[in-house]
Each structure stands twice: as structure tokens, then as C-alpha cells.
Structure 1
């Protein structure tokens, strides 16, 4: 593991330890699955949509309250899809990428002013969608091959009638037969951060490397895991406002990430069957497990890894 002065940005570390065995990423052969039934059978039909005129602050509060990672943006009344906002967009807005320009440039770093802009200013407009007559395989192709964590389902008039996510696919695919174990599908040598790294630095790392979560390591010991949802909840729960004095974004993102990590730390081992770990993810409603061996972090396994593996059997 590199130390903090090895040429990386502050707070950016990369785990380079191998496990006991010389394990490489398994290669999957893409094979269309024979899965009948419409996508609405696995998706959620009771979808919360919000109008593009809603403020970013209210949108994030809605996502936090409902426990969503993504929120379709639709016209009030007709529910015609106009865009989508995701938890990664919120991280981007908080300091990671292009959406942060709204805070930094238009509002000169004033977080309170920027967060009252409407959702239209940071939403994704060209949304990849599924239609009511699409099947489960169509959802697999978008979520696995195009790496979208969730996809709105629309009717012929582009009205939002449902949504399907990685979690929904995992619940459906967990009954598929497979002989794979965690070590066959997990990601090795995960990039890590440390407890005193600032929210701003973690946001930059997540956006730069397109991660939704980072293991947190202290003195080579797994301390926890910080997720994009943790950063969103920091805003959506109102915690960001409680200790605010100046209202500047540099102030609200300077807090160490150890102060916003939530939930219990669950880990798994390389030898565990992927069906077992899929059931645990579903039961615990979490999106990833750090993988440990001999008390050392050696990798990560996520919802995406499991959906990909189970869909290609």
C-alpha cells in the first residue's frame, strides 16, 4: 500500500496487496439469457418523481428520506420524463466534477445559494430508458453492459411508470444457478481512503474513478466504507446545515469522512458462494462488501459484480 506521499493526491491510496493465491479477474462470455416476462415484473411501479423546478436541496432531502440512489425528474401531472438525478450527481455537485462548477463559478463558492438552484441545473437530460414491453434481458443489457445502476421505465407517451435497478435485478437473478465464489467475481486491489480524508477529497476521488464507494483504511486496518449515499445523506438529513457558519462550500466539505460514515461494517471472504453473498446483500440492503483474508482487505464485491456474474451464466 502506498503512503500518502507517494505521488498521489492527499487522501488517495491504492491497495496493492494480493491474497494468498494468484487470482486474476475471471473472463465472462456474454450469453443472452432466456428470460421471459416483462421488465415491469421485476421493476418497481410505485415511483416517486419530482419536477425539474424542485430545488436541489429538496431533491436531495427526498432521496435521503425515501432511501433512493436515483430520482426521475418528470413534469408535474403528466409524469413525462425530463431527466434523472443520481447520488453520483450529488457527489459531483459537492466537489467532484462538472456539476460543482455551479457552486464554484456561478455562486462563487456559496453553497447555500447554489443548493437552492433547481434540479434542472444538475440533472442528466438524455436518460437511458426501458419501455413497458421490454423484457428482463433488456434491463440486463443496460445495467450490466452500459453500467447504469438504475433505469426508468416509460410508456409510449414517455410517462414514467416504473424503475428497475441493480438491486431489483439481483433479487431476480439470485435464483440462477452458479458455482462461482466471491473470489471469482470481486474486484482486486481496491483504491482506498483514510478516516481523516475530507469530504471534498473523497468526492473528487469518487468522480475521477467513477466509484460509488471507497473502503476506509487506518494503519492498514479496515476502518469502514464510505459511500456516495453517505455524502448525499450528509446534505439530505440537514446535518450539513447544523454546524455551518459561513455557508461556503469549502467549509461544509472540509469535514473528515469518518464523521459521515453510517451503518455497520459488513465484510465477506473470498471463498463464499455468490448466492449466499447475494442473499446477504438483499437482506441487509447494502450495495457492496469489502473482501478480507487473514484480517486484510484484498478486494470488493458489489451488486454490479453479482448481477454481471449471475446474468452471464
Structure 2
């Protein structure tokens, strides 16, 4: 989570808890756990991919239906990897960053026209990959070192064979006992957003600061979390098009983030062991837990935080 303390408004501000939990960045040793064995042993082999010519909306629909945050882009015939599209690319397109030009400039704000472009227009080309004989330590080095949430696995010819994500690694590492508690690894400086802030504000912040989720807070009360996946799902389920009258993306991006909030909120506490937090995330298939103390939000612990912590133990 980015700790850059720029000037913020009421709907886009930094929540920084002082005192015992204000530890700043956690310092980890450079050693990565020496986990031997092929990465394919814990990877997903039955990988869904799309060709570069697939429309953006159909690719996003596939990600939404399957519950994925990323989708490899491969040649239709050879299955050689050409790129990857992630939930981050989607929120970038919807108003977060440079890919928004596809909507604003080429299609003059028409969202429906823009998402019928091919997925190659927003994918990340030449993504980081792993060879099929790579070790888990190699995956850890890239996931932790470059903050990459998922890595396609390829053979010597670049043909897609599988994918490994930080969740796959966490599932393996969570079996190892750690003496750490949530407060030792959580982020305590959080950029938060108000329930009535526009969705467009969320996409801009997520893209600019390169994180996947924003706690939704009003008067220091946590209402929920809005994630890049929530925003992507809004597009992929095509619910967004039911709210369009003119077709202009501004109609959607000006809606409040509370529009995206649904379901129950799962939280944890600072003293919870990291193994317990990891089990909770894996069982509930969620990527982060807000950390609550004395009925107040004091931090956020994510899958990445736990993978990094376990790998340094």
C-alpha cells in the first residue's frame, strides 16, 4: 500500500494510525525460503486464456465468471503467450490511467464502443513468466521482489502450460508455522475513500498508487472495501450497461463507490496469528482483511503481505 502523503480531500485521504502500530515499512531480510521442487506442482494447469483478437468485454466477462484477477493472452493456434490482462488494466481503462485514452479519445467517451475493441489494446505485452522447471523459490523471488500477483508458466517455446499466483504460494506457505501476528506485517498507513466518492476517484487512485483495494470509510467507521475486482466485475457482469442512457462512461464513473459494495465484511485484529489470517483468506477466497482494534480500522493485511512474511521466516 502506498505511503505517499500527498494532499487529499474528504473523499480521498490517508488514514495513518499513530502509536504502537505505526511501525512504517516492515523490514524483511533478503533471504527467501529455500523451497525446492518444481513450480508446476502448486500451479494451476487448466488455464483459461484468450487470443489477442478477443474483445475486451468478453475477456472481462470470462475473468468475472471464473473469478480471476488476470487472464493470459495467447495465440489462438500455438497458445504461445503474448500478454496478460489484469483487473488493474481494466480499471486503468475505466478512468484510472493512460489506457483511458481508448475510451476518451478514440471513442469520445463511449464505453460500449471502447470495450468492443480487442484485448490487445489494453493487455500488458511480454509479461514476466516462469519456465516449467522453475522452483517455487523462483516464483517467490518474482512475486515478492517485483510485486507481481500472478505468473504464467511456459515451455521453452513460450507455450502456456499453467499459471501460479500469490494465493497458490500462500496456500503452500501457510502450512509453515510463523510466530508473527497480523500487526507485524499489516500496512498501517492506508489511503481510504468515502462511500459517496465517485467510482472514478477509486480507479484513479488504484492506478496511480498501484494497489488493488481501498477501504471505504466515513467518520472513521469502516463501511467496507472496494477492490479492482469489484470494479471489473461491475463491467464484466454487464450491469454497468443497464445504468447507461447516453453511453458515456462518465455516467458510470460518477456513481458512488457504495454502488459496488455488497456482501459481508470479514475483518481481523492486530494480535491474530498470521497463520490464522492466511487460513481465513484462503477459506473465504478473499485477498485482504481489514484490521480492527477498539472498533476502529488500524490497518490492512493482504495476501501479498502474508506471502512476503512467510517467505522471510
TM over 0.5: yes
Shorter-chain TM range is: over 0.9
Change beyond 3 A, Cα 1:137–1:20: closer
- Tell me the equivalent position of 1:153: 153
Greater alpha carbon shift after TM alignment, 16-25 vs 274-283: 16-25
Within 5 Å, give how 1:102-121 maps onto structure 2. 102-121=102-121
Could you say if the C-alpha distance between residues 266 and 19 of structure 1 is closer, same or farther in structure 2, counting changes exceeding 3 Å? farther
Q: Which whole-Å CA distance do the structure 2 matches of 1:275 and 1:309 have between them? A: 10
CA drift at 1:176: 1.8
State the shift of 1:269 in Å. Answer: 0.4
Aligned-residue offset at 1:27: 1.5
Look up the SS of the partner of 2:167 in the other structure. Answer: helix
Cα displacement string for residues 176-218 of structure 1 (whole angstroms, at most 9, x for unaligned residues): 2210000000001211001111111110011111110000012
Q: Does 1:76 align with 2:76?
A: yes
Deviations, residues 250-309 of structure 1 (Å, cap 9, x unaligned): 112111110112332111100000001000000000000011110111110000000000
Cα 1:110–1:9 shift into 2, 3 Å: farther
The answer on 1:18 being equivalent to 2:15 is no
Q: Give the Cα–Cα distance (whole angstroms) in 2 for the partners of residues 21 and 96 of structure 1.
A: 31
Contact 1:274 1:306 in 2 (8 A): yes
Q: Distance in 1 between matches of 2:94 and 2:81?
A: 25
Structure 2, unmatched stretches of 5+, are 1-5
Secondary structure at 1:190's aligned position in 2? Answer: strand
* Structure 2 counterpart of 1:305: 305
Supply the distance in 1 between the matched residues of 2:229 and 2:266 (Cα, whole angstroms). 16
> How far did residue 9 of structure 1 move?
4.6
Map 1:266-285; keep pairs closer than 5 Å.
266-285=266-285
Report the CA distance between 1:11 and its aligned residue: 2.2
2-side partners of 1:247 and 1:108: how far apart? 10
Where does the alignment leave 5 or more consecutive residues of structure 1 unmatched? 1-5
Aligned partners of 2:260 and 2:27: how far apart in 1? 36
- Give the aligned length: 308
TM-score, structure 1 as length reference: 0.95
